[in-house]
Amino acid sequence: MPPLHGRLANETEAPRGISIDPRMRQFEQHLRDLTENRLGVLVESARFRESEDPIEAIHQLRVASRRLRAVFDTFGDHIHGKRHERTRKLLRGITRGAGALREWDVHSETIAELVQKSSSDVERAALEHILERIDVRRGIERKATVRALKQIQVPKLRRRMQRVVEAVLRDIAFADVSEIAWLALEPRVHAVFAEAPPLSGPEHPERMHNTRIRVKKLRYAIELVSPALGEHAAGVHQYCQKLQKLLGRYHDLDVLHDVLRVQRDDLASRRRTALVGGLDPLIERVKEQKAESTRQYHELGGRYDRRGLLMLIGEGIDAARVARVDVPSVLVDSAGWRSSQRAVDSD
């Protein structure tokens, strides 16, 4: 995505009689508020050991870090310098640092739920055996996550992220909000369909996983530029959310299926035939659930093709578009967009 207004961003004074998008002030506030909200979630979730629900706190920590990283993904061409690159790496470190623990937390919750639902004593015994082994791994990953988070100074990260947002807003201050949204969303729609598996036929685990990641990036970008879509933003976001959730469900089942098979083979190698017999029917049920999730994906994914989703987004942008207005540069300066930037940079 090419920079929108690189020349204006480098000028010391706003040009005389400039034309601005009246929605820019709303867009600026939206991006600042969204960033502050996500920073708040990240700071709170980083204390996951003190939380009433540590599993949910780890989940929220990863989500918050990903959503903050979306600023770099969406507006990367307006973010320059080693200082901002260090901020991006810090956020990536949080996402990765909590990643393994989150995966084992999901496995633990899923297996525990299966234990509660099981009506077979043998199956329940096999699942509880697996659950014990998973909990050992969770303990190891929990310690690793604590070590990783200790290396990150969260208050400093907050200030750094605020600087990133102000750098973006300074660079796009005189851009058209509709143009910003289209340049942010159009390539991400193409990315989703470039990797999307066919809407019929067998399962494609790797392509479905990659598509889930790309849908997630599209969804986060929609959240960042939602003022430009007006009332249409909710509908587009909801569709992406449903698609991401469905693909996430398939991914969890696919990983669970692999975990169960590995444990089943380990039990078989140690001649634990009773426990193996308890796992075999469960593995088949998970396989059937994967097939059902694939069918649901075919149905939901078929609602929009690449052109249809782009048209939906374009209609939202067009419906929310407003005419630019001409204002003297002194009014732009008095609105405080430059003074607020200087205040953050001097922190």
DSSP letters spanning 46-105: TTGGGSSSHHHHHHHHHHHHHHHHHHHHHHGGG--SHHHHHHHHHHHHHHHHTHHHHHHH
Q: What is the pLDDT of residues 119-175, one digit of tens each?
A: 889 999 999 999 999 999 999 999 999 998 887 777 788 899 999 999 999 999 889
DSSP one-letter string for 138-178:
HHHHHHHHHHHHHTS-HHHHHHHHHHHHHHHHHHTTTS-HH
From CA 7, how far away is CA 151, in angstroms rounded? 38
For residue 7, name the pLDDT band (cuts at 50, 70, 90).
very low
> Contact, 247 vs 279, CB < 8 A?
no
C-alpha dihedral sign at 105, 51, 143, 38: positive
Check pLDDT > 70 for residue 210. Answer: yes
Q: What is the pLDDT of residues 233-261, one digit of tens each?
A: 999 999 999 999 999 999 999 999 999 99
Q: How many CA atoms lie within 13 A of 215 on its CB side?
A: 27
Check pLDDT > 50 for residue 344. Answer: no
Check pLDDT > 80 for residue 195. Answer: yes
pLDDT at 340: 40
Burial of 268 (0-12, 13-18, 19+ CB in 10 A): middle
pLDDT at 72: 97
Mean pLDDT to the nearest integer, 55-81: 95
What integer best gives the mean pLDDT of the chain?
86
3-state helix, strand, coil in the chain (%, to 5): 80, 0, 20
Instruction: Specify the 3-state DSSP secondary structure of 271.
Output: coil
pLDDT at 326: 55
Q: Which has more confidence, 339 or 166?
A: 166
**E strand or H helix at 20, and its extent?**
strand 18-20
Instruction: Specify the 3-state DSSP secondary structure of 112.
Output: helix
pLDDT at 346: 40
pTM score:
0.85
| Cα separation values, 201 from 143, 197, 264, 298, Å | 43, 9, 28, 9
Query: How is residue 17 annotated by DSSP?
Result: T
Chain centroid to CA 145: 19
Check pLDDT > 80 for residue 16. Answer: no
Characterize 155-192 residue by residue with b for buried, 16 or more Cβ atoms within 10 angstroms of its Cβ, and e for exposed.
eebeebbbbbbbbbbbbbbbbbbbbbbbbbbeebbebb
Q: What is the pLDDT of residues 268-292, one digit of tens each?
A: 999 999 999 989 999 999 999 999 9
Check pLDDT > 60 for residue 37. Answer: yes
Query: Under 8 Å CB-to-CB from 120, ≥6 apart: which residues?
Result: 278, 281
